[in-house]
Structure 1
Amino acid sequence: MSKVFASQGDLEEKQVSFVELAPGAYAYTAEGDPNTGVIVGDDGVMVIDTQATPAMAEDVIRRIREVTDKPVKYVVLTHYHAVRVLGASAYGAEHIIASRGTLDLIEERGQQDYESEVGRFPRLFQGVDTVPGLTWPTLVFDQGMTLWMGGRRVEIRHLGRGHTKGDTVVWLPGEKVLYSGDLVEYGATPYTGDAYLKEWPETLARLRGLGAERLVPGRGDALTTPETVEAAIAGTQSFLTQMYASVAGSRAAGRSLKEAYDEAYALLQPQFGEWVIFDHCLPFDITRAYDESGDYPDPRIWTAERDTEMWHSLQNG
């Protein structure tokens, strides 16, 4: 029997949590769905990743209004993926902040990504008709910038390429709270279809060097101890390095993409198969690893048509 494409069969609603990690630093999480961060400063609010549609962002806004009536001044995009950025218009922020790499990717492939992700994740795009179009940043940085939200120091940094070429983290050095975007996952399978797999572990090493004691990953529970923070970073690194080594080895041995997929799946499933969206991600992940270990140092653009053709060829043989 053919498997349902990507996450089209994932229709069960998730339980949302809104957790305070430090005074004024919150995590909006939903059992492995994309996370949103919220920072309340003296004079306003910062939202980190926006949910996929303005309609879905309304639940984040409702949670914010439970703890403050201050205006949302800033939205930060940790990367360009539609599921993270297309809800931005709901917040009415003064500034939308992104890295130069993220802006480049929005310009190059934002529309194709929008169309492909809606097809993969129908449950995560509730109210897709409320999306006014692509989300465009109003403040763009190269390596980093620092904001003072009253007395709170907020550092916004690009530590290197990994999940995408534009990955951004938000770091509260005073509270040692880190919002990692999809550079780090916890109990959720990393999506690597647009990744730089050989560089991602090095970027994680720099992220580890910040010394976070609390962390909001891209997916999974908010982490409130140094031990769980390290477990999330190490788990993400382990998945990435094992997956890439397996696929690169298969390609070097002359095996086809399908053969590389079967070998890597057999290796990874016993260790990581219970992670959220494992079967969704593996076809995209292994295809990117096969590309990067061969003729495509930069990720190819995913379109809705390429998505379904690739996924079915690997999942169903």
Structure 2
Amino acid sequence: MFEALVTLCLAASDATCSARLLPGYEAPTEAACRDALRDAPPDPKAVPERLIAEAPVCRPTGEVLEMVEVAPGVFAHEGRIAEPDAENRGDVGNLGFVIGETGVAVIDTGSAPWMGDALWRAIRARTDLPVRHVVLTHMHPDHVFGAGVFERLGARVWGHADLPRALADRQSDYLQSLRASIGEAAFVDVTMPTLTDAVTDRAEIDLGERVLDLRAWPVAHTGNDLTVIDRRTDTLFAGDLVFARHVPALDGSLRGWRAVLADLQGMDVARVVPGHGGPSLHWPEGADPLARYLDVLEQDTRAALGAGARLSDAVKTVAQGEAAQWELFDDYNPRNVTVAYTEMEWE
């Protein structure tokens, strides 16, 4: 198979370039791909002014994300348990898609545009149905910055009603950090996702004989967590409300997260795709390590506050009994302690 690519360069620095997929021109031969470009050339006005675009070319199909079919028609990609860097190029979070009778829904899109391209190829390897929906489970950059390829195809973008404000407030910092860790070229054409459908409570997506239930949650892991349940297979996409192996990252409310997790564990679902690890967990026991960690984090923080410990001392002691149970513990636990300590300090 062949596909169309366009090389985009920053106008301010023509040495910073990256090849991007032009979806919709896939063909069995290079000649057929070129014919498709000739018959329906891409709109040059779609290229932002900050970029310079070279003429599109046809090449053999590029990188495809590895996917696991965790249930019939439900696919998940497991990101690495690592911080984003030049070697993993930001492939550090889970994402997936669900195939219905009339269309496809994507759940989370990765850290960078290349991941959206690779996810598109993974979908095309399994179905020709259109990608009609993208669901973003929360604001963190490893879940949202690959959405551009699907937006350009006209997919509806769903998220928590508080997601746009959260992204607007943090977008600059997120991109600065990712550019430093992964490289500028990975983000030459990155855009902030634009919600077309904001979820304040619950919503449904009909993929044709297959319905997805969306639910917005109170402040927990973040202030804009959203989950997806595929009714046909009882599969829950939990986003970062559920972690496995990767130590949990608290960016919202510890008490809120514990309450939401209890609600999730009470749901009658067969399996969960977490935001990290897995890629699929049995339910509800799959959340037991997370529930234990959050309990220890709260109890140890309360004990530290009760003993009059300063935050600088608490970060060295709170939840240390959990260190051997998680990866990236030293990267995230001090941040978690800081959030928990600040939340409970004025109770």
Once the two structures are TM-superposed, the CA of residue 67 in structure 1 deviates from its matched residue by 0.7
Task: Please give the secondary structure, in 1, of the residue aligned with 2:194.
Answer: coil
CA RMSD of aligned residues (A): 2.2
How far apart, CA to CA, are the structure 1 residues paired with 2:133 and 2:74? Answer: 14
Partner of 2:24: none
Partner of 1:57: 116
Partner of 1:308: none
Once the two structures are TM-superposed, the CA of residue 31 in structure 1 deviates from its matched residue by 3.9
Identity %: 27
Partner of 1:143: 201
Is the 2:205–2:211 Cα contact (8 Å) retained in structure 1?
yes
Q: Taking structure 1 as reference, are residues 203 and 67 closer, same or farther at Cα in structure 2, changes over 3 Å only? A: same
Once the two structures are TM-superposed, the CA of residue 253 in structure 1 deviates from its matched residue by 2.1
Amino acid at match of 2:253: Y
Partner of 2:225: 167
Quick check: which has more Rg, 1 or 2?
2
Query: Deviation string for 1:233-281 (max 9, x for gaps)?
Result: 11111111211221232123221122101111532214x2xx2322221
How far apart, CA to CA, are the structure 1 residues paired with 2:198 and 2:331? Answer: 32
Q: Larger % of helix: which? A: 1
Is the 1:161–1:200 Cα contact (8 Å) retained in structure 2?
yes
Query: Deviation string for 1:135-160 (max 9, x for gaps)?
Result: 22111120110111111011011133
Once the two structures are TM-superposed, the CA of residue 59 in structure 1 deviates from its matched residue by 1.9
How far apart, CA to CA, are the structure 2 residues paired with 1:188 and 1:255? Answer: 27
Partner of 1:186: 244
1:27 aligns with 2:48: no
Match of 1:239 among 293, 298, 309: 293
Partner of 2:302: 248
How far apart, CA to CA, are the structure 2 residues paired with 1:293 and 1:268? Answer: 20
Once the two structures are TM-superposed, the CA of residue 28 in structure 1 deviates from its matched residue by 1.0
Once the two structures are TM-superposed, the CA of residue 24 in structure 1 deviates from its matched residue by 1.2
Unaligned stretches of 5+ in structure 1?
A: 1-15, 298-317
Amino acid at match of 1:282: N
TM-score by length of 1: 0.79
Identify the structure with bigger relative contact order (alpha carbons < 8 Å, sequence gap 6+): 1
Is the 2:101–2:207 Cα contact (8 Å) retained in structure 1?
yes
Match of 2:313 among 248, 259, 283: 259
Q: Taking structure 1 as reference, are residues 127 and 247 closer, same or farther at Cα in structure 2, changes over 3 Å only? A: farther
Once the two structures are TM-superposed, the CA of residue 178 in structure 1 deviates from its matched residue by 0.5
Is the 2:217–2:260 Cα contact (8 Å) retained in structure 1?
yes
- For these two proteins, the number of residue pairs brought into alignment is 272
Q: Larger % of strand: which? A: 2
